[in-house]
């Protein structure tokens, strides 16, 4: 548990933070969720596991951004500026997504368009025939 505290304080090296918290933990979560998705009926899994995982994942992502921000300059000045720039961009994207969810403007416009679009199914899709010219 000491490495979590060191990361929170900004004392851990940024390469270790990014490798553990951005690569290994999401891979382990993906493997765990794929195992959980094979257990039990679908209508039981989705409300309980899906909502719980989404809430925990949001808290984890915020924690990773804070830890990455604090540890950014442990890898040098250039690395620190790159990491902090990426975090700022991610925060702006998240803010835009939350604003879109709150206003429903963009989603309601696309929801009206998508049902009228025909689905591409295997029976509809036919590759173009190429005729050889002689």
Q: Locate 68 and state its tokens.
A: 């990455």
Decide if 98 is inside a domain.
yes
Decide if 9 is inside a domain.
yes
Decide if 126 is inside a domain.
no
How far is residue 71's CA from residue 17's CA, in Å, rounded to a whole number? 8
pLDDT value of position 104: 66
Q: What is the mean pLDDT of each run of 10 residues along the chain (134 residues)?
A: 87 91 90 76 60 82 92 92 93 85 60 50 54 63
Number of domains in the chain: 1
Decide if 111 is inside a domain.
no
Contact, 88 vs 72, CB < 8 A? no
Decide if 115 is inside a domain.
no
Give the domain range for residue 20: 2-105
pLDDT value of position 87: 92
Contact, 70 vs 11, CB < 8 A? no
Rg of the chain on CA atoms, in Å: 22
Decide if 20 is inside a domain.
yes
pLDDT value of position 56: 85
Positive or negative, the Cα torsion across 81, 70, 73, 26?
negative
pLDDT value of position 82: 94
pTM for the model: 0.64
């Amino acid at each position: 548990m000491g490495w979590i505290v060191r990361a929170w304080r900004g004392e851990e090296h940024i390469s270790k933070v990014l490798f553990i918290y951005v690569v290994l933990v999401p891979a382990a979560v993906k493997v765990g969720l794929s195992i959980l998705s094979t257990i039990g009926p679908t209508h039981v899994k989705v409300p309980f596991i899906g909502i719980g995982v989404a809430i925990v994942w949001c808290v984890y992502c915020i924690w990773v951004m804070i830890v990455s921000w604090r540890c950014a300059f442990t890898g040098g000045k250039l690395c620190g500026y790159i990491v902090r720039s990426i975090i700022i961009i991610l925060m702006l994207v998240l803010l835009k997504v939350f604003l879109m969810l709150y206003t429903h403007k963009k989603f309601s416009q696309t929801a009206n368009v998508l049902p009228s679009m025909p689905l591409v199914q295997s029976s509809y899709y036919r590759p173009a025939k190429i005729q050889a010219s002689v």
